[in-house]
Amino acid sequence: MNEVDVPLHAVAHARAGDKGNRSNVSVIPYLPEAFPYLLAQVTEARVLEVFAHKGATACSRYVLPRLPAMNFVIDNALEGGVNYSLGLDGHGKSLSFMLLGDIVVRVPEHCVPTHRQPR
């Protein structure tokens, strides 16, 4: 089985939301066959590492096997959130794409959908 290293963005999509200083980011594989590889590799520890420079202190992962999808909840990820943050994105709406870009996963080739080139 031929395995490839790809950014998470190639095999999954994500959406970020906020409640106060806590961010949640869903991670959803394009193809269900990728899910076991994501479960093994996109761990709480790795996600926390991606948010570490923002001051994140904890990360919990919730698994929804029947979708399939994962939901990450990252504490203190938003520099205080919209109450405190001086950044342009106090809600952390863009952080789903930080995660998709910063995490690289190793998956069998058949788990990577053929994305067409952007128009």
Binding residues for another protein, rule: CB under 8 A, are: 9, 13-15, 17-22, 24, 26, 28, 30, 53-55, 60, 62, 64, 66-67, 69, 71, 73, 79, 82-89, 94-95, 98, 115-119
25 phi, psi to nearest 5 deg: -130, 120
38 phi, psi to nearest 5 deg: -70, -40
Q: Choose between 43 and 54: whose C-beta lies nearer to another protein.
A: 54
Least Å from the CB of residue 41 to another protein: 19
Query: Are 11 and 38 spatial neighbours (Cβ–Cβ below 8 Å)?
Result: yes
Q: Choose between 44 and 89: whose C-beta lies nearer to another protein.
A: 89
Rg (CA), the chain: 15
